[in-house]
Amino acid sequence: MALCIAFIIPKSVYAQPVLTDSLADVAAQIEAGQWRAAEQSLQTMMQSDPSRLEYYINLASVYARQGKLIQAKATLQQGLQAHQQAATLLAGLQRINGALAANAYQRALDKNAPDLALKAVQLPVVRELAVSQNQRVSTVQQEVQVETQPAESHKAEIAAMTAELAAQKQRYEQKLSELQRQLSAQQAEIATLQAEQAATQAVDEKRTMPSDPVASESTNVLTAETKTESAVQNSVPLEPKLSSDQAAIDHVEQWASAWAARDKAAYIAFYDDEYAPGEYVNRTQWLQQNDIYFANAKAIQLNVSEFEVVDQGGSVAVTFTQHYQSASFEETSRKRLVFVLSNGDWRTAKIIKEQAVSG
């Protein structure tokens, strides 16, 4: 047979503690770093009696000592609305706003630390409820004297502090704007330097890049090809050949005009859809280099002359002299473009190979 024992607990056991007694316990919790217990206790006490400024002071201290400056500021402002004559709340709010402004300025100066943590601020803690406004309130770090002054005087102080905080905010925003402007200017300068470096690197690569057997032909080989082509010309009618050569030359001049005009779309359109400079630069890298170059390109002069057109059977090679000049670079070199086209129609011609040649 089970034995049941019932206990009758008096209601007084569940009664809320007297606030004047619990505030000292909350101060002890704060000193011990028991933030959650202190926060819950103070919130309960504030619900019971929202007119007590000591609760706002202590709750703001709980937040500030944890580095939760936004919550501390909101608590002080809430208390200040109910107690505009409270000098302690005004002093605490000023310290919190100063810490927030310093953090914002530090983040603006240090771009590598955008998530800079807020530093803790040691605000005073009230141990006892004040019986009157003239009673001194014991604190952890200092004694806070709750002064009785005319409301109009405190309103003037609040207005002055608000104006000063607004001025500080404006100064920080101006400094931040200036830093952002300097950063943008530096980024633009870096982009220009990168584009110039890419153009110079491309020229250097063309000078040093190992070429395929066609690219490594010497001037003597090119001359031999020209002689062979001349022999072929003697066996066919002259006029059609001249017409085909002129079409090839016109196409190269149009390619050079698109480059000189900094028309990226027209320039890229001259190349085959699978074109890539070679094993050192793939198509994606080539397109990226062109994006950078044309986005930052300055005015250039580009002249092409001294053409040699060779039908290679399935493709046409056009070798010519290219004179390139910009504000910072000038070069005269021999270049060859190899085209493929359908049924001899130069409107369909696409570049499949571009190389520097000797001679």
Which CATH number do you get for residue 238? Answer: 3.10.450.50
136-137 and 144-145 beta bridge pairing = antiparallel
State the pLDDT at residue 212.
43
CA dist., res. 87 & res. 157, Å (int): 10
Residue 194 counted as domain residue:
no
CB 169 within 8 A of CB 177: no
Q: Is the Cβ–Cβ distance between 138 and 127 less than 8 Å? A: yes
User: Both tokens of residue 145?
Assistant: 């004297």
Cα separation, 127 vs 31, whole angstroms: 11
User: Does 348 share its domain with 219?
Assistant: yes
62 lies in some domain = yes
Res 17: pLDDT: 37
**162 and 93, same domain (yes or no):** yes
Which residue range forms the structural domain that includes residue 234? 209-357
- Evaluate whether 252 touches 318 at the Cβ level (below 8 Å): yes
CA distance linking residue 205 with residue 225, whole number of Å? 26
**Residues 235 and 312 placed together within one structural domain of the fold:** yes
> Pseudo-torsion of CA 53, 56, 61, 63, nearest 10°?
180
Q: Which of 150, 184, 218 represents a domain boundary (last residue)?
A: 184
**Is 200 domain-assigned?**
no
**Nearest-10 crossing angle of helices 19-31, 35-48:** 160
In a 3-state reduction of DSSP, which class is residue 17? coil
Looking at the structure, do residues 153 and 263 belong to the same domain, yes or no? no
Segments in 14-109 forming alpha helices (H) = 19-31, 35-48, 53-65, 69-82, 87-109
Predicted pLDDT at 150: 47
Any domain includes 155:
yes
For the entire predicted model, the pTM comes to 0.36
- Asked whether residue 177 falls in the same domain as residue 214, the answer is no
> 318 vs 74, 248, 275, 283, 322, CA distance in Å?
76, 7, 17, 22, 12
pLDDT confidence of residue 7: 46
- Check whether residue 348 and residue 214 sit in a common domain: yes
Does 204 fall in a domain?
A: no
Residue 159 tokens read as 């207005």
| 197 part of a folded domain | no
CB 89, CB 82: distance < 8 Å: no
pLDDT value at position 340? 95
Same domain, 167 and 49: yes
- E strand intervals along 176-251: none
CB 53 within 8 A of CB 82: yes
Look at residue 224 in the predicted model and tell me its pLDDT: 41
Residue 111's pLDDT is what? Answer: 57
Q: Is residue 189 part of a domain?
A: no
Alpha-carbon span 173 to 154, nearest angstrom = 28
Secondary structure tally for the chain: helices H, strands E: 10, 6
Question: Domain total for the chain?
Answer: 2
Please indicate, yes or no, whether residues 222 and 346 belong to a single structural domain of this protein.
Answer: yes
pLDDT digits (tens, 9 = 90+) for 224-280: 444 444 444 444 333 344 478 899 999 999 999 999 999 999 999 999 999 998 777
Phi, psi of 320 (to 5 degrees): -155, 165
Residue 319 is encoded by which pair of tokens?
């070798």
DSSP string, 141-171: SS-EE-----HHHHHHHHHHHHHHHHHHHHH
Q: How far apart are CA 314 and CA 324, in angstroms?
A: 30
Pair 176, 285 in one domain: no
For residue 266, the model assigns a pLDDT of 95
Q: How far apart are CA 209 and CA 265, in angstroms?
A: 26
* Structural contact between residues 201 and 280, judged by C-beta atoms closer than 8 angstroms: no
Q: What is the pLDDT of residue 122?
A: 82
Task: Tell me the mean pLDDT per 10 residues along the chain, length 359.
Answer: 49 41 82 89 85 86 90 86 69 80 71 66 76 44 43 68 82 79 76 74 55 39 44 40 80 95 94 87 90 87 95 93 89 94 91 88
Q: Quick check: 215 and 290 in contact, CB under 8 A?
A: no
Domain stop point among 149, 184, 219: 184
Same domain flag for 221 and 301: yes
Q: Tell me, what's the pLDDT at 335?
A: 95
How far apart, in whole angstroms, are the C-alpha atoms of residue 220 and residue 338?
A: 19
pLDDT at 343: 86
Is 269 in the same domain as 328? yes
Question: What is the pLDDT at residue 257?
Answer: 95
The answer as to whether 294 is a domain residue is yes
Residue 329 near residue 204 (C-beta atoms within 8 A):
no
151-208 and 87-109 helices cross at what angle (nearest 10)? 10
Same structural domain for residues 42 and 172?
Answer: yes
In CATH, what number is assigned to the domain containing residue 78?
Answer: 1.25.40.10
